[in-house]
Amino acid sequence: MAASSSSSGLHRKYGVFLNFGEDTFGSFVSHLYKALRQKRIDTFIHIEKVRKGDRLSEPLTAIRESRLLLVVFSQNYASSTRCLKELVEILKCNGTNEQIMVPIFYQVDPFDVRNLKGSVEGAFARTEMDESWRSALETAAQFSGWDSRKFEDDADLIKKIVEDVFGKLKPIAPTPSEYDVFINFRGADTRKGFVSHLYKALCQKSISTYIDNQALRKGDPLSNLLTAARTSKISIIVLSQSYAYSPWCLKELVAIWESDRIKNRILIPIFYLVSPNDILTLQTGSEEAFAQHGSDSNAEVGVVWSRRSALPITPNISGWVSRQG
């Protein structure tokens, strides 16, 4: 499948540009490239045997002529100046002329990429440590992408990526900018049980409902979650035992409370296997969670305080309790 022309009339020579480090080429990236080619998706990969005879001499040009920009973050990715230079160009192109960047976190934690921790920090230390490269790593990791640790094997991951790429190269129908309901919840506690049943029940009643793993597409900025939290007519806040450990749950909660339209919106807290008093007094691990957030060197004091303030006021709103504490 050749890349389609955009609405602005720009021709895309490639459907996909692959940005990756040497530690993934001989395995994951090679298999991904093969799978994309088998689907007849024109893909640019920066190796001589693929580029032989191609009129393009620079990968930066190929980036500008590709529709989808797949960035494969790995443990040694940040040690490659080539990868980082390409990433800077990818971020310049992302969101312009229908170009979309999609990160793939291969055997590396998105948190480590976003905050330059663990193996990513060590790899980056082996480069010139250009600030534009640091900023590019932090920014790119803020987008929704694929996490290899959530798949049983590479074959399953590659299959899902190729299906997603194939779908993105087709015209994308517009999505509603506002939802009836936004569900704020801690995935580790409730995604596979209570929240999945709640989401299904709302959809069966034709209620437009935002839930991250359904509405957030690969390549979308994670900030879309906060936009949906601010603009949805009703916010359902599912408070569970480890809710406060999730920075994103708390970010969404602050966004809900700080929304300019708060007086015209409906907030419904659901206390799932916790009591309102536990949340009100920061019990059930909440105090420990905030101590953990406060010890994070990357966290701003004001941000931590706003999250801490938002949680205890939520139980003051009438809601549902799955069990009495």
Q: Determine which one of 48, 58, 86, 252 is catalytic.
A: 86
Query: 282-291 long-range contacts, Cβ below 8 Å, gap at least 24?
Result: 282/244, 282/308, 282/311, 282/312, 284/241, 285/241, 285/242, 285/244, 285/245, 286/243, 286/244, 286/311, 289/242, 289/244, 289/245, 290/244
CB 195 within 8 A of CB 243: no
Active site residue 48: no
Q: Do the Cβ atoms of 107 and 101 come closer than 8 Å?
A: no
For residues 72, 77, 81, 87, the Cα torsion angle rounded to the nearest 10 degrees is: 30
Q: How far is CA 6 from CA 72, 97, 118, 174, 317, in A?
A: 25, 7, 39, 15, 48
Residues serving a catalytic function are 86
